């Protein structure tokens, strides 16, 4: 009956919502870059399933417009235990080998029991949710294997964690269908409570530099031109991983204080930044750069380490609104130079950034009003800019040298790969494939 279905779907909604929050919570503290990519995409897709489930619950309960946790708290408490993994690899393994399969089995069971006609809107939501879960569970194995190969010291403890979860949680059981929370397995964990990392952990298979390019440290140095601008843009794109982390951190910090569509906007924001990061990474690999040559920094994320969540939201908004004009300019510049792929990336990036500035204004305004803070989003933006100025001022000689060294190595390597110093027209060297421009 409708009441039974809406009760189960409400539980599914809160489970999916917790999935988004816990994946966001782990993103900054996850070292392995491909795992960060995986988390960003996964949390975005989960947020869409959560959104659809919530709307379906409201449809079934109309005219009641409340969707509150109520008696479902024990289920949420159970799911939150998965967050307390001993390291990022363990979290990923527990999530994709136990928790997501458990949720998938519940979706399957619901689909088996549901009336395909009367409850057809739910059928569609869960079928799409199942497709996402199947894809996430399958794709995670390659990511986990690579993570364990780069961080072998995490593997043993991660395996023990998964064994502990397996012993306690039978993924074939229908625990989320229980009318009460009393049959939920109790996970006895020795791990301390989970805390999000305020430092953006970086993958050791890349070059490390807190400030990844000279203009990150000193904006007055400018973005350069010609082939330097091409390489710089791709390096800046991959370094937008910090923006994904900042969006993830605001999901983690602010979701409970916001209406339901905040999670949807912030999850999309997070995934878009992951896509921008992949754009740069793909360009660099296609051109022939190796992982260990590519500098990965984290200064923009760490600028928010000691401030409140709204100022952190202001930091990402500061970058979005300050540099948005460069996206359309560079779309044209790269097209003029014959680098059609970079131009194409910048064009799609620009489309995303226009939405992001809207997200920034909308949610800063919301949280300021809620707190009774009379500042405008632009005033917060100015406060946030000070955080960036502070971390730049504190740069040590070693950090400056890491930045300059990485920059010089990238440009030297670029010359080896056929990039030429020409500010008018970058060498349009192709290998016969019009989609594979060197320049």
3-state helix, strand, coil in the chain (%, to 5): 70, 0, 25
Does residue 288 come out as left (phi exceeding 0), alpha (psi in the -120 to 50 range) or beta? left
**Nearest by Cα to 110 from 128, 126, 132, 94:** 126
Which region, judged by CB under 5 A, interacts with Fe ion, from 170-178, 213-221, 318-326, 423-431? 318-326
Shortest Cβ 112–Fe ion spacing (Å): 42
Q: Are 418 and 399 in contact (CB under 8 A)?
A: no
Q: What is the DSSP string of 319-332?
A: HHHHHHHHHHHHHH
> Is the CB of 12 or the CB of 44 nearer to Fe ion?
44
Shortest Cβ 251–Fe ion spacing (Å): 15
Cα–Cα distance for residue pair 142/152, rounded to 1 Å: 15
Q: Are 5 and 122 in contact (CB under 8 A)?
A: yes
**Nearest by Cα to 106 from 36, 184, 44, 182:** 184
Cα–Cα distance for residue pair 405/276, rounded to 1 Å: 24
Q: Residue 23: helix, strand or coil by DSSP?
A: helix
> Is the CB of 94 or the CB of 377 nearer to Fe ion?
377
Determine which residue in the list 18, 240, 302, 345 makes contact with Fe ion, applying CB under 5 A: 240
Residue 330 interacting with Fe ion (CB under 5 A): no
User: N- to C-terminal Cα distance for the chain?
Assistant: 62
Shortest Cβ 208–Fe ion spacing (Å): 21
> Is the CB of 191 or the CB of 282 nearer to Fe ion?
282
Window 264-283: contact mask with Fe ion (x via CB under 5 A): ---------x--x-------
Shortest Cβ 320–Fe ion spacing (Å): 5
Residue 232 interacting with Fe ion (CB under 5 A): no
Shortest Cβ 24–Fe ion spacing (Å): 16
Cα–Cα distance for residue pair 151/334, rounded to 1 Å: 37
> Is the CB of 339 or the CB of 353 nearer to Fe ion?
353
Residue 356 interacting with Fe ion (CB under 5 A): yes
CA distances from 326 to 125, 300, 320 (A): 39, 18, 10
Which region, judged by CB under 5 A, interacts with Fe ion, from 36-44, 59-67, 161-169, 240-248? 240-248
> Is the CB of 34 or the CB of 273 nearer to Fe ion?
273
| Binding residues for Fe ion restricted to 277-316, rule: CB under 5 A | none
Residues 6+ apart with CB under 8 A from 164: 187, 189
> Is the CB of 59 or the CB of 329 nearer to Fe ion?
329
Shortest Cβ 249–Fe ion spacing (Å): 14
Shortest Cβ 237–Fe ion spacing (Å): 8
Shortest Cβ 219–Fe ion spacing (Å): 17
> Is the CB of 302 or the CB of 353 nearer to Fe ion?
353
Window 45-84: contact mask with Fe ion (x via CB under 5 A): ----------------------------------------
Which phi and psi angles does 204 have, rounded to 5°? -70, -10
Cα–Cα distance for residue pair 33/232, rounded to 1 Å: 19
Which region, judged by CB under 5 A, interacts with Fe ion, from 186-194, 238-246, 325-333, 412-420? 238-246
> Is the CB of 228 or the CB of 320 nearer to Fe ion?
320
Residues that bind Fe ion (CB under 5 A): 240, 273, 276, 320, 353, 356
């Amino acid at each position: 009956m409708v009441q039974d279905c809406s009760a189960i779907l409400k539980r599914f909604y809160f489970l999916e919502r917790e999935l988004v929050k816990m994946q966001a919570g782990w993103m900054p503290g996850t070292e392995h870059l491909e795992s960060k990519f995986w988390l960003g995409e996964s949390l975005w897709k989960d947020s869409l399933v959560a959104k659809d489930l919530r709307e379906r619950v409201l449809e079934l309960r109309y005219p009641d417009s409340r969707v509150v946790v109520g008696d479902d708290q024990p289920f949420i408490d159970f799911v939150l235990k998965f967050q307390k993994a001993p390291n990022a690899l363990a979290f990923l393994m527990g999530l994709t080998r136990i928790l997501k399969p458990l949720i998938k089995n519940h979706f399957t069971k619901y689909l088996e029991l549901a009336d395909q006609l009367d409850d057809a809107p739910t059928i569609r939501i869960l079928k799409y949710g199942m497709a996402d879960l199947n894809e996430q569970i399958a794709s995670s194995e390659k990511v986990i294997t690579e993570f364990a190969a780069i961080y072998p010291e995490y593997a043993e403890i991660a395996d023990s964690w998964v064994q502990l979860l397996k012993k306690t949680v039978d993924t074939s059981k229908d625990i989320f269908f229980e009318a009460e929370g009393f049959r939920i397995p109790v996970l006895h964990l020795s791990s301390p409570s989970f805390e999000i990392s305020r430092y953006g952990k970086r993958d050791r298979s890349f070059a490390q530099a807190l400030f990844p390019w000279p203009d990150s440290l000193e904006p007055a140095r400018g973005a350069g031109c010609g082939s330097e601008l091409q390489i710089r843009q791709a390096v800046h794109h991959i370094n937008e991983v910090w923006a994904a982390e900042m969006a993830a951190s605001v999901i983690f910090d602010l979701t409970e204080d916001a209406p339901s569509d905040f999670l949807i906007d912030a999850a999309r924001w997070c995934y878009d930044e992951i896509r921008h990061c992949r754009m740069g990474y793909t360009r660099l690999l296609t051109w022939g750069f190796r992982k260990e040559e590519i500098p990965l920094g984290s200064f923009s994320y760490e600028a928010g380490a000691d401030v409140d969540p709204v100022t952190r939201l202001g930091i990402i908004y500061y970058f979005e609104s300050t540099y948005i004009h460069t996206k359309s300019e560079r779309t044209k510049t790269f097209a003029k130079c014959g680098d059609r792929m970079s131009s194409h990336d910048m064009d799609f990036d620009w489309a995303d950034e226009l939405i992001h500035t809207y997200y920034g204004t909308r949610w800063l305004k919301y949280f300021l009003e809620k707190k009774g803070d009379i500042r405008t989003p632009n005033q917060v933006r100015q406060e946030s800019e000070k955080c960036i100025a502070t971390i730049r001022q504190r740069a040590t000689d070693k950090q400056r040298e890491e930045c300059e060294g990485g920059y010089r190595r990238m440009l030297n390597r670029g010359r080896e790969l056929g990039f030429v110093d020409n500010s008018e027209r970058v060498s349009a060297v192709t290998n016969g494939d019009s989609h594979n421009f060197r320049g």
